[in-house]
Structure 1
Amino acid sequence: MSKPIIALNADYREATGDKPAFSVLTAGYYNALLEVGALPIIVPPLAEEQDIEQLLDSVDGVLLVGGADLDPRRDGWMLHPSVRPLASRRETFDRTFARIVCERRVPVFGIGVGMQLLNLVMGGNLHLHIPEDIPGALPHKDLLDPSHRHTLEIASGSIMDRVFGDGELRVNSWHHMAIDEVAEGFEVTARCPDGVIEAIESRVPDWFAMGTQFHPEAATASALDLRIFEEFLMGAKDCAPAVRLVA
């Protein structure tokens, strides 16, 4: 049988001085997909919606990768001093890409800012800076410790529950933004003990969509985290034939 094809967006760096513009992607994303039996393809920041539509006709799912911050000014909010916006070309593409993915109900997995984007495109919103928006929250980013971790509280019967099961679970954490209001059609399936949302899953019929705030592809992830990619691939396999029939 042919391998499921999964499209990944990538980060983007503008040209500076004598250095040309380039795209970059942490290898952990495609390594995890390869490990579970997918065929990953990296998508450049396309400008034409019809090109995105044509691309989605030929893939079985989409992985929205992590990165810097979504620019709140694009959603009518002020720019918080802590926000480090994505490159404009990447964010413009990512927002269009995610919108079309959601409209077509393409199987999708968002990680980090990818989960935040998924929630935003579907009608939710974001906390711009956890220390100010959620007083008393645990640290979710430690500039001195790139391996910073915290525990999770997981919803029973969720994908996260199938992946991790019982027992204490600790996941990596290096974010300062987070989901505030959850988009309609999604439910929270994992939280940090302080209430910060760490995973969401779609409850829209016939659409596999999920997101994690933590990074299961990273070197700081646990061995169990690869199971999240297996769940994503199973969801993509179940839904992909219907997706390719969408006009």
Structure 2
Amino acid sequence: MSKPVIAINADYRAAAADKPAYSYLASGYYDAILEIGGIPMILPPLADEADVRQVLSQVDGVMLIGGADLDPRRDGWMLHSSVRPMDGRRESFDRMLARLVGEMRIPAFGIGVGMQLLNVSQGGNLFLHIPEDVPGALPHKDPIDPDHRHTLELTPGTLMERVYGDGELRVNSRHHMAIDELAPCFDVSARCPDGVIEAIESNTPDWFVIGTQFHPEADTASALDLRIFEEFLMGAKEGASAMRLVA
């Protein structure tokens, strides 16, 4: 049986002074896919929707990576002083990619801003700055400590509970934006004790989606975090099989 192919978006930096434009990606994302038996395929920031549809028709799943912030002005909100928008070329591509992933029901895994993007693409919205928008929230980002962690509270009966089981769970945390209103097609599968959403999953039978605000691909992740990628790959396989039966 052929291995599942997982498309992964990449970060992008525009040309500046004597430095050329380039795409880049932390190896943890594709190493995790390789480790669990998938084939990662890194996508450049395509501009033609037909090209993106063609790519999506040939893969088994899509991983949306973390990175800088989504620009709230694209969703009709003001730009908060704490927001550091990602490069416009990447954001334009990422938003189109997320929209088409939803339309085509491609199995998806969103990490960090990738989870936030999936929520926004399906009608949800975001807190722009947790310290202001969630009074009494725990620290979710420590500029001095890149290994900052906090605990999670898992929702019973969810994929996250199946992955982590019982016991206290601590995850890495380095974000200042978070999901506010959850899109109708998603359920919360984990929260920080302060109520901030840390993981989501699809409640739509024909679309497998998981999302984590924390980064299971990072060096600060635990060995157990690889199970999330295994669940994603199983969901991608099942989704691909279902699409072949329909075709």
Q: Alpha-carbon deviation of 1:242?
A: 3.5
**Alignment-derived partner of residue 49 in structure 1:** 49
1:220 and 2:241 correspond: no
Corresponding letter in the other structure for 1:189: S
Displacement over 6 Å in runs of 4+: none
Partner of 2:110: 110
Alignment-derived partner of residue 237 in structure 1: 237
Structure 2 residue matching 1:83: 3-state secondary structure: coil
What residue in structure 2 maps to residue 162 of structure 1?
A: 162
SS of 1:55's partner is helix
Are the equivalent residues in 2 in contact too, given 1:104–1:243 (CA < 8 A)? no
TM, length-normalised to structure 1: 0.98
Matching residue of 2:40:
40
**Alignment partner, residue 198 of structure 1:** 198
Give SS of 2:233's match. helix
How far did 1:57 drift?
1.0
**Per-residue Cα deviation, 1:171-202 (whole angstroms, up to 9, x for no partner):** 00000000000001110010000000000000
TM-score, normalized by length of structure 2? Answer: 0.98
Q: How does 1:93-104 map to 2 (within 5 A)?
A: 93-104=93-104
Return the offset for 1:205: 1.3
- Partner secondary structure for residue 115 of structure 1: helix
Identical-residue share of aligned pairs (%): 73
Following superposition, the deviation at residue 246 of structure 1 comes to: 7.8
Q: Which one-letter code corresponds to 1:209 in the other structure? A: V
Check whether the contact 1:7–1:61 (CA below 8 A) recurs between aligned residues: yes
2:150 aligns to what SS in structure 1?
A: strand
Measure the CA separation in 2 of the matches of 1:145 and 1:232. Answer: 29
Distance 2:79 2:246 in 1: 37
Q: CA deviation at 1:237?
A: 0.3
Aligned position for 2:7 = 7
Match of 1:150 in 2: 150
CA deviation after TM superposition for structure 1 residue 243, in Å: 3.8
Distance in 1 between residues matched to 2:2 and 2:233, nearest whole Å? 13
Number of equivalent positions: 247
In the alignment, what sits opposite 2:126? 126
Q: Which moved more, 1:187-196 or 1:233-242?
A: 233-242
